Amino acid sequence: MPRGRHSLETSKPGPRRIALLAAPVATVLAVGVGVATSGATLPSASPAASGKLASAAKPLTHASLADARLNNGRTLGVSRSSERVRFVAPVPKVTGKLWTTSDLNLRLEPQEKARVAGLVDAGKQVGVTGRRQGAYAQVVVDKAARWVTADYLSKDKSPAAMGLSDQPCPDGSSIESALQPASVKVYRAVCAAFPELTTYGGQDGHGEHVNGEAIDFMVPSSSVGQRVADFVYAHHAELDLFDIIWSQHIWTIQRAGEGFRSMSDRGSATANHYDHVHIKIN
């Protein structure tokens, strides 16, 4: 049965009404999505525009966002790295000093493949901390802790690094008057390098001493005697030496490749050269 105009059944809207109703909704959704993706919030509507959308809103830019953050009390552009404080390791305490007997690499770690941060020359005195790790000892050079090969540190200066002095001995000894010029050179070099020596044997009527070509250096201890022997051996070419005798061992220029050779027992400490180092020029 046909219904009248005032029937209770809701009539379906036509296509034109659907379009008109959907347009405001789409506009509101578009504005909302744009604001959400920009990271900003919509400004509060003024009383005069209550219930209406602002028609002339300014576009959101990086500058306006930065201003907004500053206005909210936030600080921009502060890097965390600028707040870091560089840590400087304290320099270890030096407990003593030793001499380098060779040129040594200064390593950052006590390892063979560790980075090398410099070089210390032979014959230099360096501070040591007493720390050892494997074959390495910790030293302090230029206010920095480094590691060097421990075997090349000595309480005594390297003989090779000790220079040769030609200055007269300070004791005013008259021993030089009976020596050959080359023997005087040896005498002065040893006297200057070892001021603890006070007794010498020069020209006399026996053996290699007859012509003033040999000198005996009496030593207060075996350790000093060994240092004297090492010193003259290290400089044997410069001093033009023929032989060195110490502690029942002999070195000669003719058999230099054999080093110091053992000698037969001659019956006493002096005869076996335990209390003095004998040196003869070539």
Q: Name the helix (H) or strand (E) containing 237.
A: helix 236-239
pLDDT of residue 80: 56
E-assigned strands of 59-152? 96-100, 104-107, 116-120, 125-133, 136-141, 144-149
User: What's the rounded mean pLDDT across residues 97-119?
Assistant: 92
Q: Give whole-number Cα distances, 111 to 34, 147, 148, 258, in Å.
A: 62, 8, 9, 35
pLDDT of residue 30: 46
pLDDT of residue 161: 78
pLDDT band, very low/low/confident/very high, at 162 (cuts 50, 70, 90): confident
Task: Show the tokens assigned to 154.
Answer: 């000595």
User: What's the rounded mean pLDDT across residues 254-278?
Assistant: 96
User: What's the rounded mean pLDDT across residues 51-73?
Assistant: 49
Long-range contacts of 133-136 (CB under 8 A, 24+ apart): 134/110, 135/110, 136/107, 136/110, 136/111
pLDDT of residue 60: 52
Taking the C-alpha atoms of residue 214 and residue 242, their distance in angstroms, rounded to an integer, is 9
Class of domain 96-160: mainly beta
User: Taking the domains of the chain in order of start, what are their residue ranges?
Assistant: 96-160, 162-281
User: What's the rounded mean pLDDT across residues 245-268?
Assistant: 96
Q: pTM, whole model, 2 decimals?
A: 0.54
Write down the mean pLDDT value for the chain: 79
Residues sharing a CB contact under 8 Å with residue 209, sequence separation 6 or more, in sequence order: 201, 202, 203, 216
Long-range contacts of 30-35 (CB under 8 A, 24+ apart): 35/60
> Pick the residue with more confidence: 76 or 196?
196
How many CB atoms are closer than 10 A to CB 45? 12
pLDDT of residue 9: 47
pLDDT greater than 50 at residue 112: yes
Task: Give per-residue pLDDT as tens, 207-242.
Answer: 999 999 999 999 999 999 999 999 999 999 999 999
Taking the C-alpha atoms of residue 219 and residue 242, their distance in angstroms, rounded to an integer, is 21
pLDDT of residue 53: 41
Taking the C-alpha atoms of residue 36 and residue 29, their distance in angstroms, rounded to an integer, is 11
How many CB atoms are closer than 10 A to CB 160? 15
Q: Name the helix (H) or strand (E) containing 191.
A: helix 181-193
pLDDT of residue 72: 52
